[in-house]
Structure 1
Amino acid sequence: MKKIITNVVTISCLVLATQQFSAQKVVVNREVETTKDGKMLLGTQTKDQFTKAPYADWYVKEHDEYAIDQKAISELRKDKINSYNITVFIGTWCEDSHRDFPRLMKILEEVKYPEVKLTIIAVNRKKESPSGEEGLYNIQKVPTIIVQKYGKEIGRIIEMPKTGYIERDLVEILKKDDKSVIKEIFKK
């Protein structure tokens, strides 16, 4: 009898959680028209949104012309970048985003990064998104690329990569994470 009650409660909780989850609608690929900037993306986006006009004008050119550092790509694969989550905040009105976001996407394609682990959030000129995610991450500048593991931020690239190459900065972030894990192990 106890097992039956436990199973009923478990199934009820799962059904309730599923209903709650499906009730939360997230608007994806929101586009707005502004008098100053014309069309602008806001909020959660999918990568294919950037291959459409007017974003394709800057996205495709920068993506296709960027020469990737293959040594850094090998390091990213070795350091298992695909096991991390990446959140990127961009402004479709921002020149730095026009340069670095397509480069990031090309890097992620090169390492076959799973799209489900990537979150792209477009913000307005005030660095605001419709759902307020910028507040959770304390976004001051765009682009900002945030690398996380198990929900914990490992590192971020703000506005421009320190090394001049996003892939090299990502390698540095992942190396730093490895060292912090080793410190945690030997601390005990």
Structure 2
Amino acid sequence: MKKITNIIAVSALLLVNQQLSAQKVVVNREVETTNDGKMLLGTQTKDQFTKAPYADWYVKEHDEYAIDQKAVDQLKKDKINSYNLIVFMGTWCEDSHRDFPRLMKILEELKYPENKLTIIAVNRKKESPSGEEGLYNIQKVPTIIVQKYGKEIGRIIEMPTTGYIERDLIEILKKDDQSVIKEIFSK
């Protein structure tokens, strides 16, 4: 009986290991293109953008951006750190060059947990190696998606409508609060 239990336990461990290794995601993939030179593709970590050639635009925009501190304080109150963010961007895209570094500066100010942030770089066709753009219907970049409990509650597409990412994020979180209130009173 003990032998059978051991065989089952080992088999279960092998199966779990196989599942985990099958789900490996390549992080910080960089490709060389004829028209655009180096380009990031797929899941990225934020430190990738402080390396050449991306640092040329990333560091300048990041350092020069003046954060709306009042809006950041409101985001802290609204507990933005409890939400997940998925960012689709292109290292070839001027809008991404402007807004992605600004978003990163805002998130640093918020001490936003890195494990709640997913950065996905796409090519000019708005494609990523794992096809996540299809799941989220990405048409333009940058697109910043705000999620709670795996459900999308809002997104910023291409440019913030208020002119400030932090203010647009407040508007998204307000909508989420209102939908919770509606849910409570509709029961």
TM category, shorter = over 0.9
The one-letter code matched in structure 1 to 2:83 is Y
Please state if 1:115 is matched with 2:114.
yes
Distance 1:13 1:156, change over 3 A: farther
1 CA distance for matches of 2:152 and 2:127? 20
Aligned to 2:177: 178
1:123-170 Cα offsets, whole Å, 9 max, x none, are 000000000000000000000000000010000000000000000000
2 CA distance for matches of 1:168 and 1:16? 46
The one-letter code matched in structure 2 to 1:185 is I
Q: CA deviation at 1:19?
A: 3.7
Aligned to 2:91: 92
SS at match of 1:87: strand
The one-letter code matched in structure 2 to 1:155 is G
- Structure 2: runs of 5 or more not aligned: 1-6
The one-letter code matched in structure 2 to 1:140 is Q
SS at match of 2:135: helix
- TM-score, structure 2 normalization: 0.92
Aligned to 2:102: 103
Aligned to 1:5: none
Q: Percent identity?
A: 87
RMSD: 2.0
Aligned to 2:3: none
Q: CA deviation at 1:120?
A: 0.3
The one-letter code matched in structure 2 to 1:36 is N
Aligned to 2:20: 21
The one-letter code matched in structure 1 to 2:57 is W
1 CA distance for matches of 2:49 and 2:62? 11
SS at match of 1:44: strand
Please state if 1:34 is matched with 2:33.
yes
- TM-score, structure 1 normalization: 0.92
1 CA distance for matches of 2:114 and 2:121? 16
Please state if 1:43 is matched with 2:28.
no
Q: CA deviation at 1:10?
A: 9.4
Q: CA deviation at 1:11?
A: 9.6
Distance 1:185 1:52, change over 3 A: same
1:25-72 Cα offsets, whole Å, 9 max, x none, are 211000001110000000000000000000000000000000000010
Distance 1:85 1:11, change over 3 A: farther
Aligned to 1:3: none
1 CA distance for matches of 2:91 and 2:102? 14
2 CA distance for matches of 1:10 and 1:165? 54
Deviating more after overlay: 15-24 vs 51-60: 15-24
2 CA distance for matches of 1:150 and 1:90? 23
Aligned to 1:151: 150
Q: CA deviation at 1:15?
A: 6.4
Q: CA deviation at 1:17?
A: 3.5
The one-letter code matched in structure 2 to 1:96 is D
